[in-house]
Amino acid sequence: ELVLSGIKDYAQFAKLKAGITQALSDATWVEERKMRRGQVVLGIRSSRTVEAVKRQLASVPAEAGKVAVTSIEGERLNAEVREK
């Protein structure tokens, strides 16, 4: 699960989700679970470890902002969108 905060609008979210899906190309699926103002929770199914997913998120294209993982809690990655 990926909790992503700092999202400004839906257009930015759509670009980020496309970038995350591309970076996690081996993932079975990436789906929206919850959306709140400025935050989204994505469910991710991948055969990779949480640490490997964290490394892959670093390669998300920065077009809509940089995804920075701030903490890991079990199977949950907490991340924020930072300016390019």
How would residue 81 be classed by pLDDT, with cut points 50, 70 and 90?
very high
Cα 56 to Cα 54: distance, rounded to the nearest angstrom: 5
Contact 44, 23 (CB under 8 A): no
Mean pLDDT of 78-84: 87
The pLDDT of residue 48 is: 87
* Ramachandran assignment for 23, one of left (phi > 0), alpha (psi -120 to 50 degrees), beta (any other): alpha
What are the pLDDT digits (tens) for 4-49?
999 999 999 999 999 898 888 887 788 999 999 999 999 999 888 8
Check: CB of residue 14 under 8 Å from CB of residue 45: no
The radius of gyration of the chain's CA atoms, rounded to the nearest angstrom, is 11
Is 27:45 a contact under the CB 8 Å cutoff? Answer: yes
